[in-house]
A and B are shown apart, each in its own frame.
Chain A
Amino acid sequence: MTQEPDTYSALAEVGAPQEHRSFWDKLVLDLKKSPWSARFGMLVILAYAIVGIFAPALAPHGEAEVFAAPYAPWSSEFIFGTDQIGRDIFSRMIYGARNTVGIAVATTLLAFFIGGSLGLAAAIDRGWLDQLLSRSVDVLMAIPSLIFALVLLSIFGSTVTNLIMIIAVLDSTRVFRLTRAVALNVVVMDYVEAARLRGEGLGWIMRREILPNIMPPLIAEFGLRFCFVFLSIAALSFLGVGIQPPTADWGSMVRDNASLIQFAQYDLKAGLTPLLPAAAIALLTVAVNFVVDWFLHKTSGLRDE
């Protein structure tokens, strides 16, 4: 009946290795199978990155260069016209990509560093440190974050550093909760116990044993958190306490030109002008979410193909 060898040997078991793929092979394979939405998202993010990095080379005019005509209409020289004091809106949008996105990335990274490391430490400790951190986070989360940020920014002043620090700390509470929750599932694994028995320090256990195993949810959260941070910065700028002039920033650009909307019935292009930076914000948010969705779907193990 049998068509397989009948005797057991360790060699036979050894001789049937399973396929080993390198990280890059896997990445290429995954990219090939990615849905159109994820590809679109990645393309948009890439475009924003290029625009942000090469802003001085791409922008036709300077960031804060003032021209004679305020509220100039769309023309070949000023593609999207000029703003209330005569700065080129198109150039400011390009610089805005660098400032707004750059600050949002820095803030999100900082939020993840703070929230992630404290969350891991709390999950490993599970004692008084965990209690202390978790309760402090509960307190911070009980205060509406936009209002809290407004208050803090008015106290400490609206510098870029303050802005990054304050939003990072407020957003790190969410990262803390997520990291702690997913790390708790990993902390109970035998390999963490094995590392502890070996005598490894807290740092090693955090970085080498736990972190690599909770990366997927954290990366997904990074994408979402980035969108929220990005929107909070834009909202704060819109309210006037965010990024300060003359630095170009999409949030404050919406506010500065908001009054143009009422002229839409006479000149459609003028009415559209304040919506352009808003659209830039919306497009990036949607793009990031597309990529995150794909990534979450891929790592959650749900298969519907």
Chain B
Amino acid sequence: MSERTKKGDILLSIKGLKIQGFSDEKWHDIVKGVDLTLRAGEVLGLIGESGAGKSTLGLAAMGYTQPGCRITEGEIIFDGVDLAKLSDEGKRKFWGDRMTYVAQSAAASFNPAHRLIAQTTASTIRAGIKDRKSAYDDAKQLYRALNLPDPDHIGDRYPHQVSGGQLQRVMTAMAMSPRPDLLVFDEPTTALDVTTQVEVLASMRSIVEEFNTAAIYITHDLAVVAQMADTIKVLRHGYEVEEAPTRQMLSAPEQPYTKSLWSVRALEKSQQAVQASVLSLQGIDASYGVQKVLHNVNIEVPKGSTVAVVGESGSGKSTTARVITGLLPQTFGSVKFNGEDLPPALADRSKDQKRRIQMIYQMADTAMNPRQTVREIIGRPLEFYLGMRGEAKTKRIVELLEMIELDAVFMERLPGELSGGQKQRICIARALAAEPDFIICDEVTSALDQIVQEGILKLLLRLQNELGLTYLFITHDISTVNAIADQVVVMNQGEVVEQGLKTDVFQPPYPDYTALLLSSVPEMDPDWLTNLIQKRAETNV
């Protein structure tokens, strides 16, 4: 810890901060009068949905606003200096020295042309805190503290030569290098797999504790913030909803909004009895060029149920979906749909076969043509598969919109005029329009806020009950699996590790990989990470 501040002193205090952003020819309020106090050595968690103003507030704590934003009111007192009134030149003395920042996407934040260690120490050397030699030695110490492999030499690599999780840790080392008083983490683990997230979280937390740095941790994931923060502040629409110490916040949230955030994770589907298979994959091998990505995959999907496919990125989940849809013909094995073999290539399948299998994508933004209205998007499958036109088509579109709980006024909207949740609903309606038996949901909720996620999951469950649909649900989020699945397939490196009823798969004993995956999912218990690290340390010794 630096001599400049002592633990427990007020390091940062923000009062009545208002920030505006410029869009659509107007200034809009983003942060609408928020107070914040951070003591030296303390970690504050900022949570909220997208658009809550949490990132804007986190950056404002450093006196920085993104281009197109301005601070209109309030003060930001950092160690006695009001950053809101300081010139850029004045603020630059603090940045990269006494306050540093860890961004969401490490891959996009590193300069691909420089070695990691040079980037780690650049601001420290520039600020004159250390000379080159001692800064490099210190960076190696930090790499070691962050549990990076081969800490003495990893700094000689270039950004593309290390994995995403390692890069995120190098960025933390970069932020720690000048020994700042304040560190701002902006969703640092959102882009990582759960199993990697655990390692990154653990090393971030230990280094913040070791150097007693004050930190602001911005995230939308409650379970993650529970591991990191001493205090949690909930934001919504630019206002503060409530603030409390972590344990108190988790056990007894006061505001109804906070309670609703907490309740999402409690959604759980009761399991259904097993019926005959509607789809079965038998001994599927598939490859991209010479690289084999699926090895002997067997999956049974019973009619009217939901099968969740879980695994990290690169485990072959999405490839399995591509084989089922016919976009990537398998090299070996067969796909049986309603008892008959499906031709491997899309071009060989009949219109009816194509109609019966529909797909919903992760990114609703890119899954809809931005130049087509909702009427065209939903209307096309009606016209294409069912030959509906004119009046009958319009009537059916309205019915479909009702099914997804949207109004008929949305018919003439373009995708750009919809919110994230609405977009995903339109994608669901498009899939329903074809009157399918089987829908592949590829990470359909992972790009959405928790509350919107809950809405989408409930909608999918309701539609399944009403229409008897079968889902193949690809996800990496175990709480989503709990909410929607009857059966679970665990995949790793192109192979099925385990499959069966949800209750069976989630009951011990597990195969090693399932155990790792399950134990890596953050829980809403502030001691979860501590216990997990302890447990893993014990079993390894």
Contacts and interface: CB of A to CB of B under 8 A. Distances in A.
B366 A199 contact: no
Contacts of A208: 369, 372
Contacts of B325: 197
B361 A7 contact: no
B237 interface: yes
Interface stretch (B130-138, B254-262, B308-316, B500-508): B254-262
Contacts of B405: 10, 14
A4 B380 contact: no
A199 B351 contact: yes
B422 A4 contact: no
Contacts of B371: 212-213
Given A19-B417, A212-B371, A3 B239 contact: yes
Nearest to B322: A193
Given A1-B241, A197-B354, A6 B421 contact: no
Interface string B419-463: 101100000001000100000000000000001100100000000
B412 A2 contact: no
A4 B351 CA distance: 49
Interface residues of A, number: 29
Q: Which of A18, A193, A199 has the most CB of B within 10 A?
A: A199
Contacts of B255: 2, 6
Contacts of A3: 239
Given A6-B257, A14-B407, A213-B371, A190 B239 contact: no
Contact of A13 (B256, B368, B422, B430): B422
Q: Which of A4, A198, A212 has the most CB of B within 10 A?
A: A198
Contacts of B367: 190-191, 194
A198 B354 contact: yes
B381 A17 contact: no
Contacts of B370: 213
Contacts of A135: none
Contacts of B368: 191
B1 interface: no
A200 B239 contact: no
B257 A191 contact: no
Contact of B241 (A2, A194, A196): A2
A10 B455 contact: yes
Interface string A84-121: 00000000000000000000000000000000000000
A189 B381 contact: no
Nearest to B419: A13
Given A14-B405, A18-B418, A190-B363, A199 B369 contact: no
A207 to B, nearest CB: 11
A209 interface: yes
A6 B381 CA distance: 38
A147 to B, nearest CB: 41
A114 B169 CA distance: 52
Q: Which of A7, A10, A19, A20 has the most CB of B within 10 A?
A: A10
Interface string A199-241: 1100000001100110000000000000000000000000000
A186 B367 CA distance: 11
B27 interface: no
B118 interface: no
B393 to A, nearest CB: 16
A232 to B, nearest CB: 33
B220 to A, nearest CB: 14
Contacts of A19: 24, 417
A189 B366 contact: yes
A8 interface: yes
B239 A2 contact: yes
Contacts of B241: 1-2, 6
Given A14-B405, A189-B366, A20 B412 contact: yes
Interface in B334-381: 346, 349, 351, 354, 358-359, 361, 363, 366-372, 380-381
A3 B257 CA distance: 12
Interface string A1-31: 1111011101001101111100000000000
Contacts of A189: 366
Contact of B366 (A13, A18, A20, A190): A190
Given A6-B255, A8-B260, A197-B327, A191 B366 contact: yes
A44 to B, nearest CB: 29
A196 B361 contact: no
B160 interface: no
Contacts of A212: 369, 371-372
Interface in B77-93: none
Interface in A21-72: none
A280 B354 CA distance: 58
Given A13-B419, A14-B422, A1 B242 contact: yes
Contacts of B451: 8
A190 B361 contact: yes
B384 interface: yes
A218 B384 CA distance: 29
A209 B422 contact: no
B388 interface: no
Nearest to B381: A198
A17 B374 CA distance: 14
A304 B103 CA distance: 27
A13 B325 CA distance: 33
A6 B253 CA distance: 13
A200 to B, nearest CB: 7
B240 to A, nearest CB: 5
A14 B406 contact: yes
B378 to A, nearest CB: 12
8 smallest beta-carbon distances between A and B, as pairs:
A212-B371, A190-B367, A6-B257, A6-B256, A190-B366, A199-B354, A18-B417, A191-B369
13 contacts: A2-B236, A3-B239, A6-B256, A8-B451, A10-B455, A13-B419, A13-B422, A17-B410, A198-B385, A199-B351, A208-B372, A213-B370, A213-B371
Interface of A: 1-4, 6-8, 10, 13-14, 16-20, 189-191, 193-194, 196-200, 208-209, 212-213
